[in-house]
Structure 1
């Protein structure tokens, strides 16, 4: 309990305290208690805070849907033994080996509008160059694509473990009764897999909410010139390390922390219902 208190409770409590003060310039500088003033400032900020909230939810929801659907499809393909399955599994899991910053830098080069491989490939099919990360509207979907490339294998791993633990008897009985592949998936496999699916959503959802390294590696400070990929994490980082506004940044982090805890509570409740 003492170990948990030192590593978790104290930093959170210190952040809560800073969020109630006007701390800026340095956390050691003198600061005054201002109560909920920072919270009123942040929650009424429609220029940076609420757009960052919207981008965070858009990023998280978008990558989660694609990663779970694609992860389930790949896991079903890898479920039954086939030739060279070990090599295929290794190839699918390779994106997990690289660090997110390295992945971000690699894809930044691939999506470079002038010399990037992505536009070169599009040119082979007669499609004009795209702005990708350089575009104000295309930057967020492009970073979502990068996240999907790297973290879908993690979902595959979780769902594949769940599939291999399923009993064969219900599937064999359904096959004898004449159920097709889609019917077996919809009425047997998916209901039995729901607890595992929710675990995958929980783990990836929390991770996606907290995504920082890929966004910062591809777009830099402020999530780009127009803050096009500025999520809550990137916004709070900028407030702390670019502007030294520790009171405001702590407020953003506490609100972000409550969003994550609330999401965990909702998904955990759904997992219990599915079980």
Structure 2
């Protein structure tokens, strides 16, 4: 626990320190203490910072909602035993085997505007080719689709574990009372599964908020020519390794860290508030 605590504390303290300096060029170069100057500059950046914040929440919120809905639907389908269920479960979990960079490169080839399979398929149905990753307004939904494709199986795994642990007696009682399938799910299964859903939301929201690899693998520096997929992670990475503005980048990371902590606290607080009622 001490080692893990140090591995968390030392980089965090160092990042906080850098965020209060004008460090740039090299972290070993001379730098001066400027207090909250970097934070003021970041909050005043309406060209890159605030759009990156907006994209971060659009990306995380969008993929989380879709993954929860799809994950719940697939978990319910896999809940009851059926012939070949083992092979179906293995097939569904296959996207988790690949690394996000490999997934990004694979879908980048599929969505290539010239030779990609996606546009060839659209052409077969007489639909015009789409820019997908190269479009200013289509790039973000496209990378969101990639994330959904890869991480929905994780949500399925969590929810399926929760479903298999539930007792069948409440569902049988509701069935005897005449409740239909939707009523049994909404008023019986879902409330019993609430704790598992919260766990899935916490894990996936944290991962979605700090997504970097699949965005950088598909769009590169700056999240594209128009910064169309530039989230806070991509923005901070660019400040650090493309422009070597370590002080400003550290300020962005600390703000991002506090945002994640606030969101996690809000989710757990709401859970405790509902549990107390």
Q: Deviations over 1:59-96 (max 9, x none)?
A: 00000000000000000000000000000000000000
Q: Deviations over 1:19-46 (max 9, x none)?
A: 0000000001010000000000000100
The 5 A counterparts of 1:188-227 are 188-227=188-227
Residues in 2 aligned to 1:53 and 1:5: alpha-carbon distance in whole angstroms: 29
4+ aligned runs moved over 2 Å, structure 1: 270-275
TM score, norm. by length of structure 1: 0.99
Residues in 2 aligned to 1:270 and 1:192: alpha-carbon distance in whole angstroms: 17
User: Following TM superposition, by how much is the alpha carbon of 1:124 offset from its aligned partner in structure 2, in angstroms?
Assistant: 1.2
- Confirm or deny: 8 A CA contact 1:139 1:228 kept in the other structure: yes
Moved more, 265-274 or 65-74: 265-274
**Number of residues of Structure 1 aligned to a counterpart in Structure 2:** 275
Q: Deviations over 1:88-135 (max 9, x none)?
A: 000000000000000000000000000000001111111110000000
- What 5-or-longer segments of structure 2 have no aligned partner? none
1:182 matches 2:182: yes
* Residue number in structure 1 paired with 2:21: 21
TM score, norm. by length of structure 2: 0.98
* Residue number in structure 1 paired with 2:140: 140
- What 5-or-longer segments of structure 1 have no aligned partner? none
User: Following TM superposition, by how much is the alpha carbon of 1:6 offset from its aligned partner in structure 2, in angstroms?
Assistant: 2.0
- Confirm or deny: 8 A CA contact 1:195 1:274 kept in the other structure: no
Residues in 2 aligned to 1:7 and 1:101: alpha-carbon distance in whole angstroms: 25
- Confirm or deny: 8 A CA contact 1:198 1:270 kept in the other structure: no
Q: Deviations over 1:177-212 (max 9, x none)?
A: 110000000100111111111110100000000000
User: Following TM superposition, by how much is the alpha carbon of 1:267 offset from its aligned partner in structure 2, in angstroms?
Assistant: 1.4
Residues in 2 aligned to 1:159 and 1:272: alpha-carbon distance in whole angstroms: 20
Residues in 2 aligned to 1:157 and 1:272: alpha-carbon distance in whole angstroms: 24
User: Following TM superposition, by how much is the alpha carbon of 1:273 offset from its aligned partner in structure 2, in angstroms?
Assistant: 3.8
1:37 matches 2:37: yes
Residues in 2 aligned to 1:64 and 1:104: alpha-carbon distance in whole angstroms: 18
* Residue number in structure 1 paired with 2:74: 74
* Residue number in structure 1 paired with 2:245: 245
Residues in 2 aligned to 1:250 and 1:151: alpha-carbon distance in whole angstroms: 29
* Residue number in structure 2 paired with 1:157: 157
- Confirm or deny: 8 A CA contact 1:158 1:196 kept in the other structure: yes
Residues in 2 aligned to 1:6 and 1:83: alpha-carbon distance in whole angstroms: 50
- Confirm or deny: 8 A CA contact 1:74 1:156 kept in the other structure: yes
Residues in 1 aligned to 2:119 and 2:201: alpha-carbon distance in whole angstroms: 33
Residues in 2 aligned to 1:202 and 1:62: alpha-carbon distance in whole angstroms: 15
* Residue number in structure 2 paired with 1:231: 231
Q: Give SS of 1:101's match.
A: helix
User: Following TM superposition, by how much is the alpha carbon of 1:274 offset from its aligned partner in structure 2, in angstroms?
Assistant: 4.7
